[in-house]
Amino acid sequence: MRGVSRDLIAEILEHDSTESAQAYIDAVASELAPQLEKADRNMGNMFHHLNHAFFNGKIIDEMPSKPIIIPIKTDTPLIVGSCGKNTIKDGKCDRHPFLGCYNGCSNFLAWREQDHRKALIYVEQEIERWKEASGHADQEALLMEYREVEEAICEVIERIEEEAANAD
């Protein structure tokens, strides 16, 4: 219902195929959803990550320090946010800037006023490029990572739009 692909849902649920995950997908849109939510709570919220599965950071209003830059080819770099990790206390970050930031890093601070759609366009172009080049397992893994980043960017855009609508 939120636009997450069946392939991705099957992967998160650790199903072998989309067909085996389809019963769960159908149930979400039915009267079974409240019962599934109750069962999920009783199982320790193990499926909670399906809702906002990728973006785990925060959306902020001020331009931060330690910028996260999207590697697009323009005259002006696209800065989408900042790293909120205290590297002195917690050590250096081993995530890929931009890919790892959007995709699950709780320290990522997405800047509300930035055009995250430009980041989305960049990722969509990379997905197309990797789909054309794919042919072995390493490339397939990278393609999946780009798809997850695509979902995370969509989540950021959706949250920003929802907050703006609620503020009106």
Whether residue 90 is contained in a domain is answered as yes
Q: Are residues 25 and 64 in the same domain?
A: no
The model's pLDDT over 25-53, given as tens digits with 9 standing for 90+, comes to: 666 655 555 566 666 667 765 554 454 45
Do 68 and 81 meet the contact criterion of CB atoms below 8 Å apart?
Answer: yes
β-strand 78-83 against 108-111: which pairing, if any? antiparallel
Whether residue 1 is contained in a domain is answered as no
Q: Are residues 16 and 66 in the same domain?
A: no
Q: Are residues 114 and 156 in the same domain?
A: yes
pLDDT value of residue 157: 93
Name which of 81, 141, 69 is nearest 105 in CA terms: 81
pLDDT over 50 (residue 92): yes
| Tally of structural domains, the chain | 2
- Residue 42: which domain range? 6-50
Higher pLDDT, 110 or 139: 110
